[in-house]
């Protein structure tokens, strides 16, 4: 007969047994046979007849979700394991917090790379910065410079987080605007208009530097003006910051 390994928090319902022998042809049969033997397990494994999302059943090394789900066939000598996913969290202020260290890293990269591009006359580097900015605006998770911060600079302790209750949208809008200018710069350089091209790049450099060194986000200012005028899509108003109390 197949066996099911029981995780520690559920063992009080199996008289302390780590392993229970079960009958059945499928994972579903086995789980229901387990519940027949130990009915108190049911509410912790199932919700409205469905396996709870944080309950994982493994057949050997494989999560049965990647096999045939609870209909996965089992044999007499199959070894099943119930393995918890552990999850939780405050859920507080979803998306209403911005790590300004990540923004500043982004700005520093933009300024540095565009300056190098200008000095070395590299249109391709301008194109690269434009691409990173535009991708980072459309998919914030995929922002390359932000990822450098999240995966390298912050874990290594080189930069400390500076999380502020803030709207992420104006910052994304500012980056998108900068991305379009940088894209325009790339196109101008490619079609042989270097003065226009480098002017556009320098506008991005100056505005990013204004933000990095003086904390003034010109794109955010534009965003909030559009919000004030009631332009659709600019729904986030300025946040009045207040201290949190427990």
Partner 1 sequence: MKVVLSDTHFDQIKTHLEDAYPNEGAGFLLGRSSENLVEIEFILPMANRREAEAQHNRYSIEPKDYANAEFEAARRGLDLVGVFHSHPDHPARPSQFDVDHAWPNFTYFITSVEKGKVKVTHAWRLREDRTAFDEDILEVAQPNSVANTNRED
Closest distance to partner 1 from the beta carbon of 53 (Å):
8
Q: What are the structure tokens assigned to 136, written together?
A: 């980072």
Q: Angle, nearest 10°, between helix axes 168-190 and 194-214?
A: 160
Of residues 85 and 230, the one with the C-beta less far from partner 1:
85
Closest distance to partner 1 from the beta carbon of 9 (Å):
4
Positions that interact with partner 1 (CB under 8 A): 7-12, 43-44, 54, 56, 58, 63, 81, 83-94, 97, 99, 140-141, 147, 150, 160-161, 163, 244, 246
DSSP class of residue 93?
T
Closest distance to partner 1 from the beta carbon of 82 (Å):
10
Of residues 49 and 88, the one with the C-beta less far from partner 1:
88
Of residues 10 and 210, the one with the C-beta less far from partner 1:
10
For the chain, the maximum distance between any two Cα atoms, rounded to a whole number of angstroms, is 80
How far is the C-alpha of 221 from the C-alpha of 19, rounded, in Å?
A: 62
Closest distance to partner 1 from the beta carbon of 17 (Å):
14
Of residues 47 and 68, the one with the C-beta less far from partner 1:
47
CA 244 to mean position of chain CA atoms = 25
Residue whose C-alpha is closest to residue 7's, from 70, 81, 63 = 81
Closest distance to partner 1 from the beta carbon of 72 (Å):
16
Residue whose C-alpha is closest to residue 118's, from 108, 107, 126 = 126
Of residues 190 and 239, the one with the C-beta less far from partner 1:
239
Residue whose C-alpha is closest to residue 220's, from 203, 201, 207 = 207
Q: What are the structure tokens assigned to 213, written together?
A: 């060194």
């Amino acid at each position: 007969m197949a066996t099911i390994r029981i995780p520690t928090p559920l063992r009080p319902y199996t008289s302390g047994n780590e392993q229970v022998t079960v009958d059945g042809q499928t994972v579903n049969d086995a789980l229901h046979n387990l519940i027949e033997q130990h009915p108190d397990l049911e509410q912790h494994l199932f919700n409205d007849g469905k396996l709870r999302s944080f309950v994982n059943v493994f057949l050997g090394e494989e999560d049965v979700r990647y096999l045939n789900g609870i209909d996965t066939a089992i044999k007499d000598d199959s070894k099943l394991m119930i393995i918890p996913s552990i999850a939780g969290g405050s859920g507080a202020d979803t998306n209403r917090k911005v790590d300004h260290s990540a923004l500043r890293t982004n700005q520093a990269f933009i300024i540095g790379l565009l300056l190098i591009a200008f000095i070395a006359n590299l249109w391709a580097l301008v194109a690269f910065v434009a691409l990173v900015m535009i991708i980072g605006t459309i998919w914030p998770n995929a922002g390359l410079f932000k990822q450098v911060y999240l995966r390298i600079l912050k874990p290594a302790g080189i930069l400390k987080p500076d999380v502020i209750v803030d709207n992420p949208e104006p910052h994304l809008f500012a980056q998108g605007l900068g991305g379009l200018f940088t894209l325009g710069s790339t196109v101008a350089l490619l079609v042989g208009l270097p003065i226009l091209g480098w002017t556009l790049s320098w506008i991005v450099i100056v505005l990013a530097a204004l933000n990095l060194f003086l904390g003034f986000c010109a794109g955010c200012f534009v965003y909030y003006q559009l919000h004030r005028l009631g332009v659709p899509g600019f729904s986030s108003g300025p946040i009045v910051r207040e201290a949190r109390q427990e």
